[in-house]
Protein backbone atom coordinates (compact mmCIF):
# COMPACT_ATOMS: atom_id res chain seq x y z
CA UNK A 1 0.00 0.00 0.00
CA UNK A 2 1.32 3.42 -0.94
CA UNK A 3 0.36 6.83 0.48
CA UNK A 4 1.32 9.92 -1.49
CA UNK A 5 2.53 12.77 0.76
CA UNK A 6 2.86 16.41 -0.27
CA UNK A 7 5.33 17.96 2.17
CA UNK A 8 5.06 21.76 2.36
CA UNK A 9 7.13 21.87 5.56
CA UNK A 10 10.88 22.12 5.99
CA UNK A 11 10.86 18.86 7.98
CA UNK A 12 11.52 15.25 7.02
CA UNK A 13 8.71 13.06 5.77
CA UNK A 14 7.01 10.81 8.33
CA UNK A 15 9.16 7.74 8.91
CA UNK A 16 9.26 4.48 10.81
CA UNK A 17 12.00 4.64 13.46
CA UNK A 18 12.47 0.87 13.86
CA UNK A 19 11.80 -2.25 11.82
CA UNK A 20 8.86 -3.18 14.06
CA UNK A 21 7.28 0.29 14.32
CA UNK A 22 3.58 0.47 13.44
CA UNK A 23 3.52 4.27 13.50
CA UNK A 24 5.50 6.92 11.66
CA UNK A 25 6.57 10.03 13.56
CA UNK A 26 4.98 13.32 12.49
CA UNK A 27 6.66 16.66 13.13
CA UNK A 28 5.28 20.11 13.95
CA UNK A 29 5.59 22.72 11.20
CA UNK A 30 5.77 26.08 12.96
CA UNK A 31 7.01 29.56 12.13
CA UNK A 32 7.41 30.23 15.86
CA UNK A 33 7.28 28.15 19.02
CA UNK A 34 3.88 27.30 20.48
CA UNK A 35 3.47 27.15 24.26
CA UNK A 36 0.81 24.79 25.56
CA UNK A 37 -0.16 25.83 29.07
CA UNK A 38 -1.83 23.21 31.29
CA UNK A 39 -5.24 22.33 29.79
CA UNK A 40 -4.57 24.37 26.60
CA UNK A 41 -5.81 22.88 23.34
CA UNK A 42 -4.22 24.06 20.09
CA UNK A 43 -4.22 22.96 16.47
CA UNK A 44 -0.62 22.29 15.42
CA UNK A 45 0.13 22.30 11.68
CA UNK A 46 2.34 19.66 10.06
CA UNK A 47 2.71 20.95 6.50
CA UNK A 48 1.71 17.47 5.32
CA UNK A 49 -1.04 16.63 2.84
CA UNK A 50 -1.91 13.03 1.98
CA UNK A 51 -3.51 11.07 -0.82
CA UNK A 52 -4.73 7.88 0.81
CA UNK A 53 -6.10 4.95 -1.20
CA UNK A 54 -9.81 4.23 -0.79
CA UNK A 55 -10.38 1.59 1.88
CA UNK A 56 -7.60 2.98 4.07
CA UNK A 57 -7.31 5.71 6.67
CA UNK A 58 -4.48 7.35 8.54
CA UNK A 59 -4.90 7.28 12.30
CA UNK A 60 -3.12 10.03 14.21
CA UNK A 61 -2.01 8.85 17.64
CA UNK A 62 -0.23 10.39 20.61
CA UNK A 63 3.45 9.65 21.21
CA UNK A 64 3.70 7.64 24.41
CA UNK A 65 6.86 9.37 25.65
CA UNK A 66 5.31 12.84 25.38
CA UNK A 67 2.20 11.63 27.18
CA UNK A 68 4.05 9.90 30.02
CA UNK A 69 6.76 12.51 30.60
CA UNK A 70 4.83 15.72 29.88
CA UNK A 71 1.10 14.99 29.72
CA UNK A 72 1.00 16.01 26.05
CA UNK A 73 -1.56 14.09 24.01
CA UNK A 74 -4.27 14.47 21.39
CA UNK A 75 -7.48 16.15 22.51
CA UNK A 76 -9.55 13.93 20.20
CA UNK A 77 -7.91 10.67 21.32
CA UNK A 78 -7.16 9.22 17.90
CA UNK A 79 -7.65 11.39 14.83
CA UNK A 80 -8.82 9.95 11.53
CA UNK A 81 -7.66 11.19 8.14
CA UNK A 82 -10.14 9.91 5.55
CA UNK A 83 -9.13 8.87 2.03
CA UNK A 84 -11.04 11.76 0.43
CA UNK A 85 -9.51 14.50 2.63
CA UNK A 86 -6.87 16.58 0.88
CA UNK A 87 -6.25 19.39 3.39
CA UNK A 88 -3.30 19.83 5.70
CA UNK A 89 -2.94 17.26 8.46
CA UNK A 90 -3.35 19.16 11.72
CA UNK A 91 -2.87 17.80 15.22
CA UNK A 92 -5.27 18.79 18.03
CA UNK A 93 -2.85 18.84 20.96
CA UNK A 94 -3.70 19.21 24.65
CA UNK A 95 -1.47 19.65 27.69
CA UNK A 96 -2.79 17.48 30.52
CA UNK A 97 0.37 18.06 32.52
CA UNK A 98 1.02 20.61 35.25
CA UNK A 99 3.82 22.53 33.46
CA UNK A 100 3.94 24.65 30.32
CA UNK A 101 5.17 22.70 27.28
CA UNK A 102 6.82 24.33 24.28
CA UNK A 103 6.45 22.85 20.80
CA UNK A 104 9.12 23.84 18.30
CA UNK A 105 9.32 23.43 14.55
CA UNK A 106 10.47 19.90 13.74
CA UNK A 107 9.48 18.36 17.09
CA UNK A 108 8.08 14.84 16.78
CA UNK A 109 4.67 15.30 18.38
CA UNK A 110 2.46 12.47 17.09
CA UNK A 111 2.53 9.36 14.99
CA UNK A 112 0.50 8.15 12.06
CA UNK A 113 -0.65 4.59 11.48
CA UNK A 114 -2.07 3.43 8.15
CA UNK A 115 -5.10 1.19 8.61
CA UNK A 116 -7.29 -0.79 6.20
CA UNK A 117 -10.99 -0.70 7.01
CA UNK A 118 -14.26 -2.11 5.74
CA UNK A 119 -17.53 -0.20 5.44
CA UNK A 120 -20.36 -1.67 7.48
CA UNK A 121 -23.89 -2.12 6.24
CA UNK A 122 -26.42 -0.99 8.82
CA UNK A 123 -29.57 -3.06 9.25
CA UNK A 124 -32.29 -1.67 11.51
CA UNK A 125 -33.93 -4.37 13.64
CA UNK A 126 -36.46 -4.51 16.48
CA UNK A 127 -34.22 -6.56 18.79
CA UNK A 128 -30.70 -7.97 19.02
CA UNK A 129 -29.50 -11.32 20.34
CA UNK A 130 -28.61 -11.95 23.99
CA UNK A 131 -25.13 -12.99 25.15
CA UNK A 132 -23.68 -14.12 28.46
CA UNK A 133 -22.55 -10.55 29.07
CA UNK A 134 -25.58 -8.89 27.47
CA UNK A 135 -25.85 -5.22 28.54
CA UNK A 136 -23.22 -5.46 31.29
CA UNK A 137 -20.59 -2.83 30.65
CA UNK A 138 -18.12 -0.51 32.32
CA UNK A 139 -16.23 -3.15 34.27
CA UNK A 140 -18.91 -5.85 34.30
CA UNK A 141 -16.62 -8.47 32.72
CA UNK A 142 -14.69 -8.69 36.00
CA UNK A 143 -11.37 -7.72 34.43
CA UNK A 144 -9.46 -5.26 36.58
CB 90 within 8 A of CB 45: yes
Report, as an integer, the average pLDDT of 51-63.
Answer: 97
Largest separation between any pair of C-alpha atoms in the chain: 56
H-state helical runs in the chain: 64-70
List, as one string, the DSSP characters of 40-67: -EEEEEEEEEEE--TTEEEEEEE-HHHH
Give the fold, CATH level 3, of 4-116: Deoxyuridine 5'-Triphosphate Nucleotidohydrolase; Chain A (2.70.40)
Q: For residue 31, what are the contacts with CB-CB under 8 A and spacing of at least 6? A: 105
Question: What is the tens place of the pLDDT at every residue in 87-137?
Answer: 999 999 999 999 999 999 999 999 999 999 999 999 999 999 988 877 777
pLDDT of 44 strictly over 70: yes
Indicate the domain borders of the chain: 4-116
Amino acid sequence: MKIKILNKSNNALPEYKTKGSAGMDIRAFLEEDVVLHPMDIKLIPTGLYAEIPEGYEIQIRARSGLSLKNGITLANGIGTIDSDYRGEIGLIMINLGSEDFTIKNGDRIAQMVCVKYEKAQIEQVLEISETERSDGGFGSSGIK
